[in-house]
Amino acid sequence: MEKKKGFIGEFKEFISRGNVLDLAVGLIIGSAFTAIVTSLVGDILTPIIGVILRKAGIEKFADWAPGGFGIGSFINAIVSFLLISFTVFLIVKAVNKAQELGKKNKEEEPAEEEALPVTDISLLTEIRDLLVEQKNIQAAQQEKEQNQ
């Protein structure tokens, strides 16, 4: 009969799956990449399209660019993306290393010997061996006392 898992047991099993970590990484990288795309569209492409549609000359573009052209924001978004990605990479690398060490430790552990069923004969044999050992110890002590 299989024992039912409780809510907490099911949650532990769900969290320990590798898919959850992959999903978290994808979500983090996706949100960081969203910042890059948003900055590219809002700070670079939209101002360029605005200049083209207004048919502004290059002089107007030069006058307008320093105040409205968000190249700094775009570079900041790229740097943030790279930092976040590198941090997530380090976390994933550490988790993978820990999982590998856990697998190696499990493989190196010697398998426990299966206990033989206890029978009358095995118990009597063990008692006999203990009595013989005890008799040998007493004999050694008596011999030591006689030699002194």
Residue 108, burial from CB neighbour count under 10 angstroms (0-12, 13-18, 19+) = exposed
DSSP 109: S
Phi, psi of 116 (to 5 degrees): -75, 150
Q: Which helix (H) or strand (E) holds 26?
A: helix 18-39
Work out the average pLDDT over 111-139.
80
Contact 81, 36 (CB under 8 A): yes
Measuring CA to CA, how many Å separate 98 from each of 20, 77, 95? 16, 32, 5
Q: Is the pLDDT assigned to residue 8 strictly greater than 80?
A: yes
pLDDT value of residue 60: 47
Domain ranges across the chain: 7-109, 116-148
Q: What is the pLDDT of residues 55-77, one digit of tens each?
A: 544 444 445 555 566 676 777 77
Measuring CA to CA, how many Å separate 86 from each of 36, 74, 83, 103? 16, 18, 5, 26
Work out the average pLDDT over 84-104.
83
pLDDT value of residue 62: 44
Q: How many percent of the chain have pLDDT more than 90?
A: 1
Higher pLDDT, 49 or 66: 49
Collapsing DSSP to helix, strand or coil, 116 comes out as coil
Q: How many percent of the chain have pLDDT more than 70?
A: 75
pTM above 0.85, yes or no: no
